[in-house]
Amino acid sequence: MPYLRQFLNEEKSCTSYIIGCPTSGEALVVDPKEDIREYLVFTQSMGAKITRVIDTHIHADHYSGAPKLVKETGAELLLFESAEVNFEYTPLSDGEVVRMGNAELKVMHTPGHTPESMCLMYVDKKRSDSVWAVLTGDTLFVGDVGRLGLVGGGTMEDMYSSIFNRLLRLEDYTEIYPAHYAGSACGRGMSLKTFSTIGYEKRFNPALKVKSFEEFRDYIETNRPRPIPDHQKIKRSNMGL
């Protein structure tokens, strides 16, 4: 049975994930933090080898550990196909399926926070290919949505469409696993909880209670998170520049 493990980076209030398959002995790391030791120790304890690394987008709030993991393990780096970086990676497209042994992740392109942002839907092959969980990156948080306005960011229109026309059309029971929680500068009203469900967020997330794009725009503009002074430097580093 495949497994999903969440790792918390208290310094930056970031989350990262390992998805592994005991049958194949493969593991995949999503949105790794700069210090990669925890992933290496965990996968070693599971008798697994990290074969793929995914960043859901090019981060501007923290340094990615993806380059270190790739160098240390020889893993394949995967990014959405529109990611503009100065290094090689395997491009992913909307609707593409990433298989890890018995585990399947289906790519959902969700531009907004950045143009190349994507979410990863965990497909349950034993339950008629239903999506029981989704790694939402910096698009949807517990209690908030991703911020706009950082260097290389996307548009308000894209963010609205990605959330309301794509993510919120998943079943209410679908669990969400975001890339941040309370304390991060990537949102203002995030919860201390590190996971939720689509249904819970529809009911309690104030950013999702709007009735129109205009109300969504007003909410975003009046609930701006605190500045990230070095976001340009961090983004350039994560782009390999």
- The CATH number for 64's domain is 3.60.15.10
Nearest by Cα to 147 from 108, 174, 180:
180
Cα 178–181–184 angle (5° rounding)? Answer: 115
* Domain assignment present for 162: yes
- Domain interval for residue 173: 3-223
List the chain pLDDT tens, one digit each, 241 residues. Answer: 789 999 999 988 999 999 999 999 999 999 999 999 999 999 999 999 999 999 999 999 999 999 999 999 999 999 999 999 999 999 999 999 999 877 899 999 999 999 999 999 998 766 666 889 999 999 999 999 999 999 999 999 999 999 999 999 999 999 999 999 999 988 888 999 999 999 999 999 999 999 999 999 999 999 999 999 999 999 999 999 9
* Domain assignment present for 156: yes
Provide the CA 231 distance to its chain's centre, in angstroms: 18
Q: How far apart are CA 205 and CA 210, in angstroms?
A: 10
Burial 171-192 (b: 16+ CB within 10 A, else e): eeebbbbbbbbbebbbbbbbbe
Q: Are residues 207 and 221 in contact, defined by beta-carbon separation less than 8 angstroms?
A: no
* Domain assignment present for 79: yes
Retrieve residue 44's tokens.
Answer: 């070693």
Mode of pairing for the β-strands spanning 118-124 and 103-109: antiparallel
* Domain assignment present for 231: no
Q: How far apart are CA 169 and CA 98, in angstroms?
A: 21
- How many domains is the chain partitioned into structurally? 1
**Run of H or E residues at 50:** strand 49-54
* Domain assignment present for 44: yes
Give every CB contact of residue 128 below 8 A, 6+ residues apart in sequence.
none
* Domain assignment present for 149: yes
